[in-house]
Structures are given as structure tokens and as C-alpha cells.
Amino acid sequence: MAETVALPRRGSIISPAIMPDVFWIGLTIAVAIFLTGVICGARSRTTSLLTGATIGAYLGVMLAFPLLAIGLATS
């Protein structure tokens, strides 16, 4: 007969909690918008890379916040 192996509970010390897909979608959106801000800031003649990165980070987090919050709440 086949033996049954007891799997550790989800979120236990042995196995870390698995983040839901909605969190990773939100994180991907935030990173993509951040990188867009960095590229736009680096190419601009009137602003700097740091300004573009700051604006990209702000917009990325603000747009992806609902998905990040849902993902963290359901993990």
C-alpha cells in the first residue's frame, strides 16, 4: 500500500506562506511603471534619472496598491 505523507500546514514555520497570484501581478505592474519612469527620466533633457525613478515609484505603487493589498490580505 502507498504511504501517506503529512504535508506541513500552509504558513507554518516549515513552509513559508505562498503569495497569491494577484500580489505578483500588482508587483509586476509597480516594477514596470517604475522602470518606465527611470527610462523616461534618463532620456529627458529637463529632468534627471532620480526624478523619473521617484515619479515612477510613486505612480507604480499607487496604481498597483489595490492588487498588492488584496494579495497581502489573502496570503
Quick: pLDDT tens for 2-49: 666 666 566 556 555 688 899 999 999 999 999 999 999 999 999 999
pLDDT above 90 for 66: yes
Residue whose C-alpha cell is 497570484: 21
Q: What is the pLDDT of residue 19?
A: 84
Q: What is the pLDDT of residue 10?
A: 63
| Residue pair 6/61 in contact by the 8 Å Cβ criterion | no
Q: What is the pLDDT of residue 18?
A: 82
**What's the N-to-C CA distance of the chain in angstroms?**
35
Q: What is the pLDDT of residue 13?
A: 61
Q: What is the pLDDT of residue 7?
A: 62
